[in-house]
Structures are given as structure tokens and as C-alpha cells.
């Protein structure tokens, strides 16, 4: 199901992290101490990032997640509310707020280590279920427990919402989720790991035989769209000079779903998502770098 026939918010059930970001020339060798050039903190987590991307693209968005009763948690809640994202389903946990340690290399690439903290809560509450039942689309990732994501997708399928999964961090056991997924959005490495294929096109075909539609994001090589075991389209990337690729994939997913819930066809939604991701990588940070609907529209023109 790529056509959204329901009204309601985009519900993002996912992670909220405080990003701790260092900029450095390269990754250090084991035992090496390296001098970095910059440090910053900011709102992050794949779930939060996707919620922000969808909201800035003009969609109504509600976020379901958990943060700690600490300074990071209060800061993340305030950030979401400042973005006008509904936080009624954002719980305060006894566990600390999740964090992501992000190393941004001088060429713009990044590596990330996450500590789940409150994101490790496994319960799908009655409030979560009620929110999902009202959704036009449900967006999930794998920075929350797999069992929780599975229950959420089953609830989304029962509600006839569009279900969207980013399989990151990739987990081989996530293959059992595919029958519950309308749109699967892996990057190249995730597609290969999840499918067991040795090349991306085979991976896309294989995964699309189990999930509804598969969109493999390929960075500067654009995106492949597969459905029913066949490659049905390829969308070219936009040429930009990358400053920071953190959050580019999340920008893609949030804008993709925002466009689909506006009633736009799939290829137009992928074009918009590609344009938005290209804007985001020219700016530092994850959520702070995400473009507005007006910026995306201008890029598409």
C-alpha cells in the first residue's frame, strides 16, 4: 500500500537521543588519542529525526517514545514541542535518556555509537495503540526493541495505516517484520545484510518480494525502487558538496512519508525526499539541518 487513504497524523514510534558530536580528521586507531576540531550536542535519534523531517515538510506529526528524567530528556522534549510535534506519547522513564556518540570526519562521513537508555523500554502502551489507531502512517526504525517494533507494526497494519520501516541498526531477525511493512527504506549496506544478497539490485528485488515496496537509498548514487520482486524505478541523486551526512537517511524517510500522506505518487515523493536529503547534507547536524517544505519546494522547482 503506497496510496494513503486515511486522514490523521504521521505517528513516529522511535528513538530520541542526545547527539554528542565530534568533528575529526579520521577515525582513531585502537589505543590512539586524537585531537578533534569541534564538539556539539543536539537533538537526535532516528525516530526524532524522522519526526522532525516530516513536520518541517508540512505534515502533522506525533511522536511516541521515551526519555529519562534528566537534563537531556527535558531538552529533547522541549525541542520536539518547539517543532510543534505532539508529545503526549513521549514517556518519562526511570532509565537515562539515550545518547549517540557521533564522529563526523572532515570529508562529511560519520560513524555512530548509540546507548539506548530509555529507548530500551519494550512496552507498547494503550496510549501508543490509540495513537497508532488514529494514524495515516506509522514510521518505525530499529533503535527501539525489535519486539516493540513488531507489536507497533501489527497495530499499524490492523489500523490500515501506511507502515514504514527503516531497518537500522540492521538486525537479521528484522526479516520477520517484512510482511507487516508497506514501505521498507534501507540503505545499501542494510539492504545487503537484511537480504543476504551480494549486490544491491538483487537485494532490492529479494526484499520487495516480502515487503510491499522497497526503496534503497544509495547516497550519491540516488535511490532504487522495487516492488513485487522487480526494480520499477531509479531516482538520481542531486550533486552537492556534503558537509555532514548525519541524518540524511532520516530526512529522506520523513519527507517521503510527508509527501505520501499529502496524496503525492510514490516517485514524486522519492524525488522530494532526495531533494530534501541533498539540502540536509550541506549543513552540520542531524535534526537542525533538515529543510522546510518551502526549501524543498524551491529545490524541486
Mean pLDDT of 93-110: 89
* Largest separation between any pair of C-alpha atoms in the chain: 55
> Does the annotation place 18 within a ligand binding site?
yes
Question: For residue 92, is it within any domain?
Answer: yes
> Does the annotation place 285 within a ligand binding site?
yes
> Does the annotation place 49 within a ligand binding site?
yes
The lowest-confidence range among 10-14, 178-182, 186-190, 283-287 is 283-287
What's the pLDDT at 2?
A: 63
- Give the model's confidence band at 193: pLDDT under 50 very low, under 70 low, under 90 confident, else very high: very high
Considering the candidates 2, 69, 250, 297, report the single residue annotated as catalytic: 250
The answer to whether residue 250 is catalytic is: yes
Rounded to whole angstroms, how far apart are CA atoms 86 and 131? 11
The distance of Cα 207 from the centroid of its chain, to the nearest Å, equals 18
| Domain total in the chain | 1
Per the structure, the complete domain to which residue 132 belongs is given by 10-16+44-96+118-300
Burial of 205 (0-12, 13-18, 19+ CB in 10 A): buried
SS3 298: helix
Question: For residue 112, is it within any domain?
Answer: no
Task: Specify the pTM.
Answer: 0.91
Q: What is the DSSP letter of 78?
A: H
> Does the annotation place 280 within a ligand binding site?
yes
Contact partners, residue 148, CB within 8 Å, separation at least 6:
13, 121, 122, 123, 124
Q: Cis bond leading into 169, ω under 30°?
A: yes
Mean pLDDT of 189-204: 95
What's the pLDDT at 104?
A: 86
Following DSSP, what letter does each residue of 247-272 receive, concatenated? THHHHHHHHHHHHHHTT--HHHHHHH
Rounded to whole angstroms, how far apart are CA atoms 6 and 27? 46
Bigger pLDDT: 274 or 243?
274
Question: For residue 109, is it within any domain?
Answer: no
> Does the annotation place 213 within a ligand binding site?
no
> Does the annotation place 222 within a ligand binding site?
yes
b/e string for 45-56 if b means 16 or more Cβ within 10 A?
bbbbbbbbbbbb
Question: For residue 30, is it within any domain?
Answer: no
What's the pLDDT at 246?
A: 74
The lowest-confidence range among 36-50, 51-65, 132-146 is 36-50
Residue 92: pLDDT above 80? Answer: yes
SS3 103: strand
* Per-residue pLDDT tens digits for 135-186: 999 999 999 999 999 999 999 999 999 999 999 999 889 999 999 999 999 9
Rounded to whole angstroms, how far apart are CA atoms 159 and 44? 28
Rounded to whole angstroms, how far apart are CA atoms 73 and 17? 8
What's the pLDDT at 83?
A: 97
> Does the annotation place 110 within a ligand binding site?
no
Question: For residue 67, is it within any domain?
Answer: yes
What's the pLDDT at 1?
A: 59
Kindly give the residue spans of alpha helices, DSSP state H, lying in the chain.
Answer: 46-56, 71-82, 126-133, 146-158, 188-195, 200-208, 248-261, 266-280, 293-300
Rounded to whole angstroms, how far apart are CA atoms 92 and 81? 15
> Does the annotation place 48 within a ligand binding site?
yes
> What is the pLDDT of the chain when averaged over all its residues?
93
SS3 24: strand
Burial of 37 (0-12, 13-18, 19+ CB in 10 A): exposed
Cβ proximity of 35 and 239 under 8 Å: no
Q: Provide the CATH number for the domain around residue 260.
A: 3.40.1190.20
Question: For residue 110, is it within any domain?
Answer: no
Question: For residue 37, is it within any domain?
Answer: no
Question: For residue 269, is it within any domain?
Answer: yes
What's the pLDDT at 179?
A: 96
Q: CA nearest 122: which of 101, 99, 146?
A: 146
What's the pLDDT at 110?
A: 81
> Does the annotation place 249 within a ligand binding site?
yes
Cβ proximity of 225 and 266 under 8 Å: yes
Amino acid at each position: 500500500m503506497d496510496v494513503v487513504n486515511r486522514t490523521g497524523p504521521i505517528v513516529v514510534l522511535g528513538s530520541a537521543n542526545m547527539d554528542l558530536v565530534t568533528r575529526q580528521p579520521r577515525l582513531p586507531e585502537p589505543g590512539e588519542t586524537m585531537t578533534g576540531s569541534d564538539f556539539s550536542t543536539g537533538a537526535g535519534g532516528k525516530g526524532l529525526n524522522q519526526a522532525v523531517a516530516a513536520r518541517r515538510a508540512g505534515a502533522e506529526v506525533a511522536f511516541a517514545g521515551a526519555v529519562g528524567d534528566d537534563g537531556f530528556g527535558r531538552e529533547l522534549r522541549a525541542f520536539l514541542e518547539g517543532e510543534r510535534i505532539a508529545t503526549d506519547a513521549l514517556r518519562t522513564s526511570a532509565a537515562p535518556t539515550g545518547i549517540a556518540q557521533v564522529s563526523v570526519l572532515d570529508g562529511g562521513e560519520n560513524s555512530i555509537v548509540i546507548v539506548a537508555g530509555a529507548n530500551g523500554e519494550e512496552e507498547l502502551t494503550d496510549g501508543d495503540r490509540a495513537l497508532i489507531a488514529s494514524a495515516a502512517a506509522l514510521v518505525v526504525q530499529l533503535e527501539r526493541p525489535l519486539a516493540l517494533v513488531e507489536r507497533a507494526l501489527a497495530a499499524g497494519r490492523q489500523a490500515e495505516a501506511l507502515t514504514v520501516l527503516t531497518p537500522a541498526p540492521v538486525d537479521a531477525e528484522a526479516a520477520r517484520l517484512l510482511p507487516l511493512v508497506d514501505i521498507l527504506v534501507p540503505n545499501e549496506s542494510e539492504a545487503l545484510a537484511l537480504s543476504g544478497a551480494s549486490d544491491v539490485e538483487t537485494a532490492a528485488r529479494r526484499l520487495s518480494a516480502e515487503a510491499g515496496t522497497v526503496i534503497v537509498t544509495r547516497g550519491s548514487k540516488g535511490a532504487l525502487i522495487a516492488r513485487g520482486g522487480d526494480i520499477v524505478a531509479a531516482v538520481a541523486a542531486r550533486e552537492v558538496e556534503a558537509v555532514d551526512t548525519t541524518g540524511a537517511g532520516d530526512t529522506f524517510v520523513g519527507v517521503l512519508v510527508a509527501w505520501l500522506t499529502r496524496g503525492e505518487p510514490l516517485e514524486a515523493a522519492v524525488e522530494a525526499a532526495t531533494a530534501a536529503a541533498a539540502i540536509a547534507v550541506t549543513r552540520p547536524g542531524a535534526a537542525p539541518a533538515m529543510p522546510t517544505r518551502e526549501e524543498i519546494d524551491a529545490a524541486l522547482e
